[in-house]
Amino acid sequence: MNYNIRGENIQVTEALREYVEKKISRLERYFDNLGHVEVHVTMRVLRGEGTIEVTIPMTGVILRAEETHDDMYAAIDLVVEKLERQMRKYKTKINRKQRHESGAKAMPNMEASSVAVADEEDDVQFDIVRTKRFNLKPMDSEEAIMQMELLGHNFFVFENSESNDVNVVYRRNDGRYGLIEPK
């Protein structure tokens, strides 16, 4: 695994770096080809709380987890547990699909022999309980943020008046805003 570890408002000490690498290396058992797996880690401190964000882009899926705790080492432990749950769930899903398709080709970077048995918590069904349909009004991102705030939502879907693409604005955990637009 190749690690890209950076800090915002925190000095990434050698002890922190080693702890992150040691904990995240537990995920190696889920990967077939370790040479090209990139792990992007961002650590930040805001208002006395440490936040760690880990992103692992893979073929067909991006693993991402974020945890905040007043102790950075505890946040690291929590984020690794979250990533392990995601990997178990993903691998269980892949294996079910393979069994269902009766011998379909395995994912190239996933090792089938290391699949954990699915726990009850990993067997989550996603039920859509409501569907909304609405017309997209052309507007700029600032107007979309105002609409989102007026509605009291965390995100808002709109048609960008400049590009005519469907975009999404959302409120980030740090209180600022993000914009999602297609390529």
**Interval 10-51: pLDDT, tens:** 888 899 999 999 998 888 877 665 457 888 999 999 888 889
Q: What does the mean pLDDT of the chain come to?
A: 80
pLDDT higher than 70, residue 119: no
Of residues 145, 128, 127, 23, the one with CA closest to residue 73: 23
Contacts of 130 by beta carbon, 8 Å cutoff, 6+ apart: none
Interval 154-172 mean pLDDT: 92
Structure tokens at 9: 């408002």
C-alpha span between 99 and 145 (Å, rounded): 45
Helix pair 72-100, 14-24: axis angle to 10 deg: 20
- 3-class DSSP state of 86: helix
Structural domains of the chain sorted by starting position, each given as residue range(s) with its CATH number in brackets: 2-101 (3.30.160.100), 138-180 (3.30.505.50)
Of residues 57, 59, 66, 110, the one with CA closest to residue 88: 110
Interval 109-119 mean pLDDT: 42
Structure tokens at 15: 């002890």
pLDDT above 70 as % of the chain:
82
CB 115 within 8 A of CB 92: yes
C-alpha span between 151 and 165 (Å, rounded): 22
pLDDT higher than 80, residue 61: no
Q: DSSP letters along 91-123, please?
A: HHHHHHHHHHTTSPPPPTTB-GGGPPPPPTTT-
Neighbour-count burial for 26-52, b at 16+ CB within 10 Å, e otherwise: ebeebbeeeeebebebbbbeeeeebbb
pLDDT higher than 70, residue 147: yes
